[in-house]
Amino acid sequence: MTNPSKKNVSASDPAEALWNCKAGFIGIFLASALVNILYLTGSFFMLEVYDRVLPSRSIPTLIALCLLALLLYAFQGAFEMVRGRMLVRVAGALDEAMSARIYRAVVQTPLKLRTQGDGLQALRDFDQVRSFLSGTGPAAFFDLPWLPFYIGICFLFHPLIGIVAIVGSIILIALTFLTNRGTQGPSKKASEAGNHRNAFAQASQRNAEVMQAMGMLGRMSQLWEQRNNTYREQNRETSDVGNGYGALSKVFRMALQSAVLATGAVLVIEGTASPGIIIAGSILTARALAPVELAIGNWRGYVSCRQSWQRLKELLKALPEREAPLELPVPKEKLSAEGLAGGPPGAQRLTFADVNFTVKAGSALGVIGPSASGKSSLARALIGIWPAFRGSVRLDGAALDQWDTDRLGRYVGYLPQDVELFGGTVAQNIARLSENPTPDAIVSAAKAARVHDLILKLPNGYETEIGEGGTALSAGQRQRVALARALFGEPFLVVLDEPNSNLDAEGEQALSEAIMSVRARGGIVVVIAHRPSALAAADMVLMMNEGRMQAFGPKDEVLAQILRKDNRQPQIASPASLKVVGEGQESAS
């Protein structure tokens, strides 16, 4: 069976993606129509047996009816299977159309919005929608519109049987409404409690060494129990409500079936209906109300799916995709910040403001300042991963939002303060997981970072598997490999945030040489400095304090200006001995 929306793999909106699956839904509707028509087989078979075979005592007639019923049951089973397979294909088509969009939203969420938990809620929501679509829930909803059809046939059997079926339908529909009302709130609370619990577990896993070393495991276990108890209680409440209404609807449908049997018996006794009406009416009524009962049984999944769908729509609306802008020339002249102010995504709080500077090609800018002065925030804003609340960052006069993100990434290298590498080989990490990188480009980046010899000493050289997060490497090795990744492809702008925090003397010398090599080829380097050795290769310095730019200019002039303003630090006698405090760290001794 073909995928109903194979050609629509680029849909960026959930509603659009579902609309692209309309051919699949039409097929499911037609299959449901045939299935529901064939569901009449049992009722009419019993009617013919009681009204035709038993009075005539005809075995050939019974055999013919059995063969016909078997054929119709076979067709019913085939259409049921086709409908189930089509539902799975529609869910797969939705996944094919939306998975890349959802992944991009997951990646962009911490950069654009304020997030809670582990940031993977969108993936869980999408999995919930896909699982519901491929399950039995949608089949029940496709069967529900056929309820009047069955009730109409009950009226053809006898009006009184039809009236009993209508009353039963109204009661079951009321139970469905109550199920919706009763499970909506607890289901939402259970989802939120589950997110908090999972986020706590992941934070505990990241800090396992700290917890073990400082005896925090007992207390953390207590906190985990509190969160897990909340999640369990909310889940129990949701299940109790859903199961309660499900059991009530099941018992009521059985009682209704008996009521139809009793009604048929009365009609037969009074001579207004044939004996076959008793069994046929009972079977038909039960079938008419089965989709309602099935819908009640799947209502919890439906509520969760609907909530997940709504969250996905809100998330994707908050992170719209834009068409790729006009392709701009390769930047090669300057980096400038004009009245730049910014802060964390999703927060109405500035961590720096009124930053103005221009750095020309071939320069290295050292950004210094005390803790919490806005240095790292500025670094993130300079490459566009944190939003600019005011002002702009420009490369060769073009603001960052005028560039296509993927294309701009080719001209930018970034070494974050907290280094994270991907699972794979050293070569794959240096090449930024490019599909077909050239070996020369990988080795060139490693040599530019002065890490080529270090890599060759690893067990398998460039093909060494480093594990998730680079756990097979030391902190210093990870930082140097990440520096090579930042230099891959000879980017024009290289931003290094505390690049020597885990380096020894040899590594710091290699860092200075790498910065000088970028300057020599006409690139620009921005170094967020904590230790003075990081400024050795810089020719420009920007001083930050309390989120404001205090000074900017040639390194010697700015450092001399700082020394004149602060005579309380006699140890700072020259640029080489300047002690700069970075964000979240104590000053070096």
Give pLDDT, residue 531.
66
Secondary structure class of 544 (helix, strand, coil)? strand
| Residue of 407, 419, 422 lying closest to 479 (CA atoms) | 419
Give pLDDT, residue 71.
94
| Residue of 383, 370, 361, 377 lying closest to 550 (CA atoms) | 370
Q: Which stretches within 207-216 are classed as H helix? A: 208-213
Give pLDDT, residue 393.
92
Give pLDDT, residue 251.
81
| Averaged pLDDT, groups of 10, the chain, 589 residues long | 41 74 87 89 84 85 92 91 89 85 81 69 84 84 83 83 83 76 77 80 74 76 86 83 77 79 82 78 79 74 84 83 79 91 81 91 90 87 87 90 85 88 89 88 91 90 85 85 91 89 80 90 89 80 89 87 61 37 33
Give pLDDT, residue 527.
93
Which residues partner with 86 through β-bridges?
A: none
Give pLDDT, residue 492.
92
Give pLDDT, residue 443.
93
Say if CB 525 and CB 540 are below 8 A apart: no
If you write DSSP's letter for every residue of 44-81 in order, what string do you get? HHHHHIIIIIHHHT-HHHHHHHHHHHHHHHHHHHHHHH
If you write DSSP's letter for every residue of 17-53 in order, what string do you get? HHHHTHHHHHHHHHHHHHHHHHTHHHHHHHHHIIIII
Give pLDDT, residue 159.
85
Q: What angle do CA 268, 262, 147 make, to 5 degrees?
A: 100
Helices (H) and strands (E) in the chain, counts: 21, 10
Give pLDDT, residue 162.
83
Q: What's the first-to-final CA gap in the chain, in angstroms?
A: 70
Give the tokens for residue 143.
């069967």
- Tokens 């049951």 appear where? 73
- Tokens 């230099």 appear where? 487
